[in-house]
Chains A and B, each alone.
Chain A
Amino acid sequence: MLFETILTYPATPEIFLLGMTCIVLLADLFIKQQEKKITYWLSQFALVGTAVLVLLLYNVPSTLLFNGSFIWDKTAALMQFAIVAINFFILIYAREYIRERKIPQGEYYLLSLFSVLGMLVLVSAYSLLTLYLGLELLSLPLYAMVALQRDSTECAEAAMKYFVTGALASGMLLYGLSMFYGATQSLNITEIAQVTSNLSSGQELMLIFGLVFIIAGVVFKLGAAPFHMWVPDVYQGAPTSVTLFVGTAPKIAALAMVVRLLIEGTPALVHQWQEVLILIAVLSIALGNVVAIVQSNLKRMLSYSAIAHVGYMSLGLLAATPDGYASALFYMLAYALMSLGAFGMLVLLSKSGAEVDKIGDLRGLNTRNPWLAFMLLLVMFSMAGIPPMVGFFAKLGVLEALIGAHMVWLATFALVFAIIGAYYYLNVVKVMYFEEPEIQYPIVNRPIINVAISVNCLMVLWLGMFPSGLIDLCRAAFAM
């Protein structure tokens, strides 16, 4: 009976993850271990357990908990599962990388578990207070993780930039939230949505004023233009194992923030935030795709590509239809999977002290390790949006939603820049397959890591060939 209650209580995944994280903390502190094996396996167990609990809870109907500050719905379930699953792969990829570079391992695992907890809280937050706390719980470990490689001045610089701009964005978001509170006198998103549906003009003006700051804060966390300045510097400066972390799961959590604040919180102000999002999408797509062409650093190129991808994702949001939201969610999940594959590959290739972060470092990867080269090819094709990869269906869904909302000019614009963007992804493929390698020795990884990266990249292909399952899940998340 008790067991059954636990398995149907929607906050169980968070509680389990918090409990396990504390156990990992104590185990890391008090058990003497070689190469932090126990910490690593306990962390992985925490993630797997959380994922299983989320799956078991999937069919629990939508509920509000903790006085309306916590929501459990299909959106939360899908996003939470994706976040936890992605982090399971991240820890597999990062393990050897951080061990070789003397990055404190226990701290890396612990901080990432806390950050995942923050993401889960953010995804199911339904009041402005829990939303903000979840966001901070997500970001604070990230700032520290970027700086974790203590002997590197580059990392310290990236961490400093990340922290200062992140604090500024949090401040702006908080200011916007205070305006919301002032106008609606409620922290609860259910109540805010009710109040905003019948407003006096004075309150509406105040809400719009607050909305501008909220969008600025949220867009910063998503890393879209014109609040993108931190993205390339942090992606390039951070150790690749941390870039892998920053560039994947937090984006899904940031999308959750947009869903809760804009779509569910202020549906009455849709015309206001739609206009802002159009500007953001156009700027991000243009800037991301054009600037990425001239980058010679692979991490920097992928960071500009991340900016462009967030732009494409927000196209789905600004269509302002349930189909559009579903396509945005699909895009974000697909992007997180591709980004996991791309950065994961960089982590795996950076072996025995040599950093692989220039495009030139991939020269002749095909002769050194044909299978890994093929895997990276799948990811690059998917990012460029070539069928039958998942990236193609993500872009297709977004454009379909746009045309459905009668914004054909925007769809055309996005399509033109997608073709421009294909250049730099295909360039990577060209370098891998048609150029001579500088270093001849083959790349050998542990079998389990090879299995993980293969599963990751083949998922990109598999979801591209059979996307209907995931599309249905995304549609169910936004079923009205």
Chain B
Amino acid sequence: MNLAQIFTDLVFFSFAAILVGSALMTIISRNPVRSALFLVLAFFAATGLWILLEVEFLGLILILVYVGAVMTLFLFVVMTLNIDVEEQRSSFVRYLPFAIVIVAMLVILMVYVISPGHLNPSELTTTGGQPVNYSNTTELGMVLYTDYAYPFELAGILLLVAIIAAISLTFHGKGNNKTQNPDQQILIRREDRIRMVKMQGDKK
């Protein structure tokens, strides 16, 4: 095993540990804001892993789109909502034993299935070892609009549906909007709003 291999392994395992740890903290953290921030950390760690696999474009997109846009919006929402954490914790503790049993079973199964004894690593193709002038972005662009044009279009329709669904659930029609009408505001006269009343002052 040469030095480069050891270094790659080191980078991989540190990013993997951060990813698993922060994903776990996302779930068990008491404070929702902290959960969201741990999710951001998980995205960063995943980016590290992707760049290690030489898929730079996807890694950077993950940071730009998810960390930069989605999670920022998400943090806004979490901060504006007043979520009662204590109330949720009671059910959390109640279901904890079941959850631990199920997760433990799944983890054991998964480790068993993908252990080297069962899965021969040589059967899996590995990425990497691309020439120096290889561009991940170009390659993606080449297949995205040719081989994957149909799924790409479908994903676009899916986003359109998401917009329509979100608007139809939140928009309550024009009549209910409490907007200002500038025309009316300009045309207002003093007589419409203020009425002068003469009152006798109190005498001592």
Contact = CB atoms under 8 A, between A and B. Distances in A.
Interface of A: 18, 25, 65-67, 69-70, 104, 107, 110-111, 114, 117, 121, 127, 129-130, 133-134, 136-137, 140-141, 143-144, 147-148, 150, 182, 185, 200-203, 205-206, 209
A200 B123 contact: yes
Interface residues on B, range: 20 to 34
A133 B151 contact: yes
Q: Which of A65, A134, A144, A201 has the most CB of B within 10 A?
A: A144
Given A69-B151, A133-B151, A185-B125, A18 B157 contact: yes
B172 to A, nearest CB: 7
A25 B164 contact: yes
Contacts of B74: none
Contact of B158 (A140, A200, A205): A140
Given A114-B157, A205-B113, A209-B113, A140 B162 contact: yes
B150 A107 contact: no
A150 B157 CA distance: 25
B155 A133 contact: yes
Interface of B: 109-110, 113-114, 118-120, 123-125, 146-151, 154-155, 157-158, 160-162, 164-166, 168-169, 172
Nearest to B173: A104
Contact of A137 (B109, B124, B150, B158): B158
Given A202-B120, A209-B109, A110 B151 contact: no
A111 B120 contact: no
A67 B147 contact: yes
A136 B158 contact: yes
A70 B150 contact: yes
B150 A144 contact: no
Contacts of A150: 169, 172
Given A107-B164, A114-B161, A140-B161, A66 B150 contact: yes
Contacts of A25: 164
A144 B154 contact: no
Contacts of B151: 69, 127, 129-130, 133
Contacts of B154: 121, 130, 133-134, 137
A182 B124 CA distance: 8
B118 A201 contact: yes
Contacts of B119: 202-203, 205-206
Contacts of A209: 109-110, 113
23 contacts: A104-B168, A111-B164, A111-B165, A114-B164, A117-B157, A129-B148, A129-B151, A133-B151, A133-B155, A134-B154, A137-B157, A137-B158, A137-B161, A140-B158, A144-B164, A147-B169, A148-B168, A201-B118, A202-B119, A203-B123, A205-B118, A206-B114, A206-B119
Nearest to A67: B147
Contacts of B114: 206
Nearest to B121: A202
A107 B168 contact: yes
Contacts of A104: 168
Contacts of A141: 161, 165
